[in-house]
Structure 1
């Protein structure tokens, strides 16, 4: 499977109404660029099998907490899924196929496994994009509990989320109500890609960083910061025509940005290279 086909599948998946987007399919299409031989259906089947195993274990009266306990027992005790605390920034933690194969990952990808299974057993849950630590919660009216898929499916209340947020940042952080709002599929995927972008930034891998930003821009074409970052990356990769376009678009969207003068200087450098 070549790179362009994987990107095409991702594009097709995300260009649907939110309720039609399959997060697990989109995540696997992201992974296909890293793993060209990836068999998407094999991993979808694996999720189907997990859900079927859990369904067989569900109590007769499927109260939400009982359902969560059943999922937790199966995923974390029977299958041994766990948060990867030893190598948190390993990029494999961000690819759904690796998370399923290795049974370890980061909060957002373990949450994705949990969400995919809960959907298959008709127990609706949603992602919660809390800064620093992604969570999920049952989509049940008047039920304000959260699930930490990274920590063995621990059940949390809002006060627990406050403590988790402060732990993630190493200092007291006020829990704003927006931190606990459900995320859309596009927001979910953008956060996965932003994680990869930062991992590749720290590794100095410009090519893979560009690939992450390009896919964020498929989700949000007018994301000014991503246009700027891609423009700078294109410049560093000597792709000057593309760099100029992105940086000009950034300034058009953000004419009063704090870094506008710096970006204009970079555009002047590109112009000089073109003339040379």
Structure 2
């Protein structure tokens, strides 16, 4: 046993020395040498980040610190892509998990504990007020009261395109967010309560539909599916309710051609796609092009591997 333990210590020291020797080469003025070394470091994955952080703190030249920051960013993004690939291949495409992954673009080391606790507290407080005798409208009124009156969530109408308006971490911390993240947050809580509330993507709007789970789908024509929606909910307007006629009127006012897809719930997969796209635009408008580029890659990944609709 002592020999095995001793060998493990030697191997660990060799790995550590190898890693430190690689990091020491990051100040090489030859660009090709740097790129080769950087790629080897990136291949080591997340485990090498503590070594890089130590090197950053002891570095005296900004160029070396910048190189280390870029390498850490590449490692974290590779991990995020891997996590998104796992989410894509999962059977249920959990809405909360996908939303947390989007926040990791800005917060790679995100600890979701506070977010999960907040959602559970809201879910529990709503659940205590629900019962089977309530109508769909009454259930939504309870959700609205708990979410907007008790927990004080509200739309952020200033600095609309700030990336903070699209990330669940910032939403929970500030109690303010943009239309997309507020709507997805509302959907997460509703679905955890077992309520048939799903996202709907309308041009320039992102809202929710309360489906009639007892409706009988007698037709395959998409317009007939509109009948499965009892009403729509706008979380960006404190959970106000509206009908399909108001969607039709809005499209007419905006001179947008009517389309049945604007009335129908989308999948959680498509909701996360929309969140990724809108967050990318926010980073672009904030001149954070590196983050925007990463989100474009995630969006392309989601687009390339998008599940085909079940016929």
2:231 is aligned with 1:145: yes
| Cα RMSD (Å) | 2.1
Deviation larger for 130-139 or 148-157:
130-139
Segments of structure 2 that go 5 or more residues without pairing to the other structure are 1-45, 47-75, 216-227, 307-311
Separation in structure 1 between the aligned mates of residue 134 and residue 88 of structure 2, nearest angstrom: 32
Shift of 1:59: 4.7
Superposed CA offset, 1:148-190 (max 9, x none) = 01100000101222344567xxx34344222112212222111
CA distance in 1, matches of 2:87, 2:116: 15
Using the size of structure 1 for normalisation, the TM-score is: 0.73
Aligned to 2:109: 37
1:16 counterpart = 2:90: yes
Query: Are 1:70 and 2:70 counterparts?
Result: no
Give me the whole-angstrom Cα distance separating, in 2, the residues matched to 1:222 and 1:21: 13
Q: What are the ranges of 5 or more consecutive residues in structure 1 without an aligned counterpart?
A: 224-276
Deviations 1:172-227 (A, max 9, x none): 4344222112212222111111112222222333211111111011111289xxxx
Larger radius of gyration: 2
Distance (whole Å) between structure 1 residues aligned to residue 245 and residue 208 of structure 2: 15
TM-score computed with the length of structure 2 as normaliser:
0.65
Deviates more, 1:49-58 or 1:154-163: 154-163
- Structure-2 change in CA distance of 1:66 and 1:148 (3 Å): same
User: What is the CA–CA distance in structure 1 between the aligned matches of 2:146 and 2:305, rounded to whole Å?
Assistant: 42
Equivalent residue number for residue 178 of structure 2 = 106
Is residue 291 of structure 2 the alignment partner of residue 208 of structure 1?
A: yes
In structure 1, distance between residues paired with 2:112 and 2:252? 37
2:163 is aligned, of 91, 96, 104, to: 91
Aligned mates of 1:44, 1:163 — CA distance in 2: 38
Query: How many residues are treated as equivalent by the alignment?
Result: 218
The structure showing larger relative contact order (alpha-carbon pairs under 8 Å, at least 6 residues apart) is: 2
Q: Which runs of 4+ in 1 moved over 6 A?
A: none
> 1:5 aligns to what SS in structure 2?
helix
Corresponding residue for 2:259? Answer: 176
